[in-house]
Amino acid sequence: MGLFNEIFTWWNGNTWGTRFFTMRQGKLVGEDEFGNRYYLQRKGVGPLGIPRRWVTYNGLAEASTVPADWHGWLHYTVDTLPNKENYQPRHWQKRHSPNYTGTHKAYRPAGSVLSGTAAKSAPREYEPWRPE
């Protein structure tokens, strides 16, 4: 089933067309801690008049697995590659984590139906109106 998935599904990583385009047009410039690989167009310019930048995901094509520093590079916010600069995160900054919505690791606050804990019952501070 692996070859079938690779040929016909785009959400399981690269399709053959993406691999072929990347092989012909792309220059690998870096990789992040999740195994995503980042590319820059070798020659020419893209539709914006500047070389294209893109990512090939390691595993499922999930955009939330792109860390903030690489996201800034992909969107032309910064020109310095994150693996080339000597950036030290601040003590209050958290490590990047992907979006877990819809998975078993998703955040479930107390009282949520899926959290397994019972919600606190509301206090009875009022008497409902009852017709006589």
Per-residue pLDDT tens for 66-114?
888 888 899 998 888 888 877 777 788 787 777 888 888 888 887 777 7
For the entire predicted model, the pTM comes to 0.68
Residue 60 pLDDT: 78
Please write down the long-range contacts of 48-57, taking CB distance under 8 Å and 24 or more positions apart: 50/76, 52/25, 54/22, 54/26, 56/13, 56/14, 56/18, 56/22, 57/13
Residue 28's pLDDT is 94
Please indicate whether residue 21 or residue 9 has the higher confidence score (pLDDT): 21
Residues in the chain: 132
CB-based contacts of 26-35 (< 8 A; 24+ apart in sequence):
26/54, 29/81, 29/83, 30/70, 30/81, 30/82, 30/83, 30/84, 31/83, 32/66, 32/67, 32/70, 32/82, 33/67, 33/96, 34/58, 34/65, 34/67, 34/98, 35/59
Task: Judge whether residue 6 has pLDDT over 90.
Answer: no
Least confident of 7-11, 26-30, 43-47, 63-67: 7-11
Q: Residue 29: its pLDDT value, please?
A: 94
Helices (H), ranges, the chain: 2-8, 16-25, 68-74
Q: What is the pLDDT of residue 126?
A: 78
